[in-house]
Structure 1
Amino acid sequence: MTTSENVEDPRRAEARRLRIDPGLSRSQLMQRFGVGNGTLSEWLSGINPPEWTRRPNAKDDLKERAIELRLEGATVPAIALEVGVSKSTAYQWTKHLPLDQTPEQAAERERRRVARMDEVRWEPHRKERDAARAATGERLEAWVGDLTDRELILTGAVAYWCEGAKEKPWGKTSKGLQYINSDPGLILLFLRYVELLGVERGKLTYRLSIHETADIPAATRWWADVVGVPVEDFRRATLKKHNPSTVRLNVGDSYRGCLMVYVPKSSRLYWEVEAVMGGIVAGASRRRLG
């Protein structure tokens, strides 16, 4: 039966009226007029079902959750597992919501998927590694124990020789001890070292060396707390110029630059550091030869 015949069929108007008032169901109308589902659908086009035929769907909440997960970027298998339905049901509920609108979105979703897989795969290994590292730390920290003044002078001299300012072969003029580092532990080691050399902490001066885009006041306060001096004791910071072409990883709140510590009138102390380092190198050589 064609569409034009349906329109001309007087039963069409009667079916539409009965659908509205008294609100017969589709099965009642099909039985009453002896037509199939397709013909009745054409007759009732544009008419909403009666309210009494709208039965609550026990899966409505699950469907809403499935749609939420899809909008968050979940795949059909993941949705099915989460809400407890078959993959085909999850697909029917969410097929109107494609995961990726652009190739870039598809690449980003794949990156996240691979990252999640790596996390699951390597998490047990990471836990085992972290536990082994913690055990190693505890064992060796206990082995080091308390250092004597001699040991502190030896380690302090090595720390300075690695990171402190040194004379150049072409200019044998010592400017004294100038130490710079970003590690607060090494800074505190150097401070303890110069104390053993007879220098009072109150005579030291401090300067921050930091990137110009950093939070300089916050970094200054942080370092002042580390060394235990007022912020006002710090000299004006030395700023590093910003280079847009450089990809910097030392950014954010954890970046606090380096602290430079100056020991005034310490030319002769530099000689002592130099001599101690010479003794350490010579002693290590004798130990190896012996």
Structure 2
Amino acid sequence: MTDPLASEVRRLRTVEGLSVREIRARTGVGRNRVYELLRGVPPPEWTRRPNARDDLRRRAIELRASGCSLAEIAACVGVAKSTAYQWVRDVPASVEDDAVRQRRKAHAKAMSEARWTAHRAERDAARARQHAAAARVVGPLGERDLLLLGAAIYWCEGAKSKPWRRDDHVQFINSDPGLLALFLRFLAACGVDPSVPSYRVSIHESADAEAATSWWAGRLGLPADRFRRPTLKRHNPSTVRRNTGTDYHGCLVITVPRSRELYWRIEGMIAELFERAAGAGVEETDRDA
């Protein structure tokens, strides 16, 4: 059985061409009900309002096809870059457009370099002045300096005995040749000849362990016969590593045999350094009083 209300609403839409508002005024039916009864009935042409941006969209597509950038398109048609992107994102960039983009990128890089050249030169000069001033502070290294420095860097980078694992022996590992050279000077100040410790390279398995061993021996002047078999670290391909290439030599492990008393000596110096550092504030307070 046909619904007379539905038939009337459809007739008003198709025959008389009324809008939803006019149909509601004529029939007294609610807005949602009218839309429900009109489901599948296309609106009359006169209710279709033209999109004011259709012309702008067409113009943007034309500009993109001609090789214009998003910034140029946005400025030309008077819309935001995000809007311009939505309009032209499906338009393939031409080879000419890629060439233009590369030229602009190179130009922007050149402009940036020119803008920052003076700043970098000033920064490098200031850095050089600070380096020179700091170097003058160092001066010659005496035996006391070497002992304190060596004990401090060992306590930062060396193997330490734990309450749950007593292991009083001296073993130092690092990848910095300068720090390792300083530690070897410390050992010499403690009476340990370079021919006494054993040396071992710890390096990723993807690197050249034999070449790294030769490099460390030559760099620090160490006896080649005191080097043990390298320790190879498993290479994880998913890890992005920066320490690769010819400049990567791994870490050098220095192990001093029968070094229990030397370890105790380091412990004693560190304990006294900590004690004096903790008491420095008290001494300054006493002087101020």
TM-score interval w.r.t. the shorter chain?
Answer: 0.5 to 0.7
1:218 aligned to which of 202, 211, 219:
211
How much does 1:231 deviate? 3.4
| Counterpart Cα distance in 1 of 2:108 and 2:208 | 35
Alignment of 1:142-181 (within 5 A): 142-174=136-168, 176-181=169-174
Alignment of 1:177-256 (within 5 A): 177-256=170-249
Return the TM-score normalized by structure 2.
Answer: 0.61
Match in the other structure for 2:96: 98
1:281 aligns with 2:283: no
| Counterpart Cα distance in 2 of 1:196 and 1:209 | 26
| Counterpart Cα distance in 2 of 1:279 and 1:138 | 31
Match in the other structure for 1:71: none
Cα shift readout 1:71-94 (whole Å, capped 9, x = no counterpart): xxxxxxxxxxxxxxxxxxxxxxxx
Match in the other structure for 2:265: 272
Q: Aligned AA for 2:171?
A: Q
1:130 aligned to which of 124, 141, 144:
124
Q: Aligned AA for 1:156?
A: G
Alpha-carbon distance change, 115 to 273 in structure 1, aligned in 2, over 3 angstroms: farther
| Counterpart Cα distance in 2 of 1:112 and 1:159 | 46
Alpha-carbon distance change, 100 to 166 in structure 1, aligned in 2, over 3 angstroms: same
Q: Aligned AA for 1:197?
A: C
How much does 1:217 deviate? 2.3
Alpha-carbon distance change, 135 to 242 in structure 1, aligned in 2, over 3 angstroms: same
Matched-pair contact (CA < 8 Å) for 2:194–2:223: no
Cα shift readout 1:66-115 (whole Å, capped 9, x = no counterpart): xxxxxxxxxxxxxxxxxxxxxxxxxxxxxx972628xxx96x77765554
3-state SS of 1:167 partner: coil
**Percent identical residues:** 47
Alpha-carbon distance change, 112 to 172 in structure 1, aligned in 2, over 3 angstroms: farther
1:258 aligned to which of 231, 251, 258:
251
Q: Aligned AA for 1:179?
A: F
| Counterpart Cα distance in 1 of 2:208 and 2:217 | 14
3-state SS of 1:285 partner: helix
How much does 1:245 deviate? 1.1
Matched-pair contact (CA < 8 Å) for 2:194–2:222: no
Alpha-carbon distance change, 231 to 109 in structure 1, aligned in 2, over 3 angstroms: farther
Structure 2 spans left out of the alignment, 5+ residues: 1-93, 284-289
| Counterpart Cα distance in 1 of 2:144 and 2:124 | 34
| Counterpart Cα distance in 2 of 1:274 and 1:115 | 54
How much does 1:218 deviate? 2.2
Q: Aligned AA for 2:207?
A: A
| Counterpart Cα distance in 2 of 1:228 and 1:289 | 45
Structure 1 spans left out of the alignment, 5+ residues: 1-95
Matched residue count: 190
Alpha-carbon distance change, 273 to 109 in structure 1, aligned in 2, over 3 angstroms: farther
Q: Aligned AA for 2:154?
A: Y
RMSD of aligned Cα (Å): 2.3
| Counterpart Cα distance in 2 of 1:234 and 1:225 | 12
Match in the other structure for 1:140: 134
3-state SS of 1:253 partner: coil
Return the TM-score normalized by structure 1.
Answer: 0.61
